[in-house]
């Protein structure tokens, strides 16, 4: 702490380095191969594939709930592209927190984190049944806790959404998943996403 007197101090962060610039902090791993362009998936090959990582269907059933979800590609994406990812299912009472939707695991599985600290923005296009949906970013630092979330509306027409990664309370260095889900209220849901980018 520094200050002119004992009752007027401020805490100042200091970085102590060794004579050759050593910090004692392990360097971050390189970003995953395939993430360079920023494009995750455009689904134009009509497959639920990604330039890196994996797409999965997920729901509260993973924690003992009863909700269901499925993902499949369909013809006709945003900006007259060839395909999109359709996410559908039903939220069923039975869990403390109801959710279902699509999960993107950038490391290949929801338990593996990747370093995307060089990226600043998550963007995608969405349309659907008119309901409000949730995008959530999970990190290794927040395992077991409630992830940071933002909402988007899936209306009848395609609309682009963009969120700064900093809005999800992370620097992007330990991302384990990106979820596009229906959450909270029981009932059926259906929406589509396309041109998903982390750039």
Structure confidence by residue, pLDDT tens digits, 119-139:
999 999 999 999 999 999 999
Q: What is the pTM assigned to this prediction?
A: 0.86
pLDDT at 26: 77
Q: For a pLDDT cut of 90, what percent of the chain falls above it?
A: 81
What's the DSSP call for residue 110?
A: T
pLDDT at 125: 98
Please give the C-alpha separations between residue 24 and each of 18, 99, 198, in angstroms, as whole numbers: 9, 41, 30
Token pair for residue 52?
């890196």
Cα 16–17–22 angle (5° rounding)? 145
What's the DSSP call for residue 26?
A: P
Distance (Å, whole) CA 132 – CA 125: 14
Other Cβ atoms less than 10 A from the Cβ of 187: the count is: 11
pLDDT at 1: 67
Q: Which of 46, 33, 36 is nearest to 194 (CA)?
A: 46
Using DSSP, state whether 61 is helix, strand or coil. Answer: helix
Query: Per CATH, which fold does 39-198 belong to?
Result: Jelly Rolls (2.60.120)
pLDDT at 168: 95
Residues of the chain with pLDDT under 70: 1
pLDDT at 143: 81
Please give the C-alpha separations between residue 104 and each of 56, 136, 162, in angstroms, as whole numbers: 6, 10, 16
Mean per-residue pLDDT of the chain: 93
């Amino acid at each position: 702490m520094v200050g002119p007197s004992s009752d007027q101090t401020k805490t100042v962060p200091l970085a102590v380095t060794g004579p050759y610039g050593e910090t004692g902090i392990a360097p971050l791993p390189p970003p995953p191969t395939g993430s360079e362009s920023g494009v995750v998936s455009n689904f134009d090959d009509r497959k639920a594939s990604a330039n890196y990582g994996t797409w999965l269907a997920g729901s509260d059933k993973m924690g003992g709930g009863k909700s269901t979800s499925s993902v499949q590609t369909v013809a006709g994406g945003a900006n007259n592209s060839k395909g999109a990812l359709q996410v559908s299912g039903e939220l069923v009472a039975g869990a403390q927190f109801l959710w279902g939707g699509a999960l993107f695991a950038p490391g290949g599985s929801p338990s593996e984190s990747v370093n995307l600290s060089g990226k600043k923005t998550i963007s995608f296009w969405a349309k659907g049944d008119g309901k409000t949906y949730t995008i959530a970013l999970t990190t290794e630092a927040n395992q077991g806790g409630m992830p940071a979330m933002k909402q988007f509306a899936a209306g009848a027409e395609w609309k682009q959404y963009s969120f700064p990664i900093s809005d999800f309370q992370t620097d992007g260095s330990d991302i384990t998943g990106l979820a596009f889900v229906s959450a909270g209220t029981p009932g059926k849901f259906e929406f589509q996403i396309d041109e998903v980018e982390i750039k």
